[in-house]
Structure 1
Amino acid sequence: MLSLRAVNQFYGSQHTLWNVDLDLPQGLCTGVIGLPGMGKTTLMNCITGVLPVESGTIVWHEAGAPPRNLLSKSPEQHSPLGIGYVPQDRRIFSQLTIEENLHVAMRAMGTSDAAAKSDVYDLFPQLYMLRKNRANGLSTDDQYQLALASALVNRPRVLILDEPLYGAGHSFAQKLGQLLVRLNRELGMTVLLAEQQLSFIRRVADRFCMLYRGRNVAQGHVNALDDELIAHWMSRDAWR
Structure 2
Amino acid sequence: MLSLRAVNHYYGNQHSLWNVDLDLPPGKCTGVLGLPGMGKTTLINCITGHLPIESGTMFWHQAGAPPCDLRPMPAANRTALGIGYVSQERRIFSQLTVEENLHIARKAVGGCEAMSSSDIYRLFPQLYVLRGHKSATLSDDNQHQLALASALATRPRLLILDEPTRGTGQAYIHKLGNLIVRLSQELGIAIMLAEQSLPFIRRVADCYCLLHRGRNVAQGAMAQFSDPLINGWVPPETER
Pick the TM interval, shorter chain. Answer: over 0.9
Partner SS, residue 232 of structure 2: helix
Counterpart for residue 58 of structure 1: 58
Cα deviations by residue, 1:212-231 (Å, 9 ceiling, x for unpaired): 00000000000111111011
Paired residues, what number?
237
Q: Whole-Å Cα distance in 1 between the matches of residues 149 and 88 of structure 2?
A: 14
Counterpart for residue 17 of structure 1: 17
The TM-score, its normalising length taken from structure 1, stands at 0.95
Q: Whole-Å Cα distance in 1 between the matches of residues 113 and 2 of structure 2?
A: 27
Partner SS, residue 23 of structure 1: strand
Partner SS, residue 72 of structure 1: coil
Counterpart for residue 8 of structure 1: 8
Query: In angstroms, what is the RMSD of aligned CA positions?
Result: 1.5
Counterpart for residue 36 of structure 1: 36
How far does residue 112 in structure 1 lie from its aligned partner after superposition? 6.1
1:118 maps to 2:109: no
Structure 1 gaps of 5+ residues are none
Structure 2 gaps of 5+ residues are none
Counterpart for residue 105 of structure 1: 105
**Match for 1:35: what amino acid?**
L
Q: Whole-Å Cα distance in 2 between the matches of residues 181 and 27 of structure 1?
A: 9
Counterpart for residue 173 of structure 1: 173
The 5 Å alignment of 1:1-240 reads 1-111=1-111, 116-235=116-235
Cα deviations by residue, 1:126-181 (Å, 9 ceiling, x for unpaired): 00000000000000010000000001112111111111111112111101000001
How far does residue 235 in structure 1 lie from its aligned partner after superposition? 2.0
Contact preservation (8 Å) 2:93, 2:135: yes
How far does residue 28 in structure 1 lie from its aligned partner after superposition? 0.8
Contact preservation (8 Å) 1:116, 1:155: no
Q: Whole-Å Cα distance in 2 between the matches of residues 18 and 196 of structure 1?
A: 20
Cα deviations by residue, 1:71-121 (Å, 9 ceiling, x for unpaired): 110000011111111111111000000000001111122226786211010
Cα deviations by residue, 1:14-61 (Å, 9 ceiling, x for unpaired): 111011000111211101001111110111111111111111111100
Q: Whole-Å Cα distance in 1 between the matches of residues 122 and 142 of structure 2?
A: 15
Contact preservation (8 Å) 1:165, 1:173: yes
Q: Which range is displaced more, 11-20 or 109-118?
A: 109-118
Residues 19/114 of structure 1: CA separation in 2 closer, same or farther (3 Å cut): closer
**Match for 1:100: what amino acid?**
E
Contact preservation (8 Å) 1:19, 1:56: yes
Partner SS, residue 7 of structure 1: strand
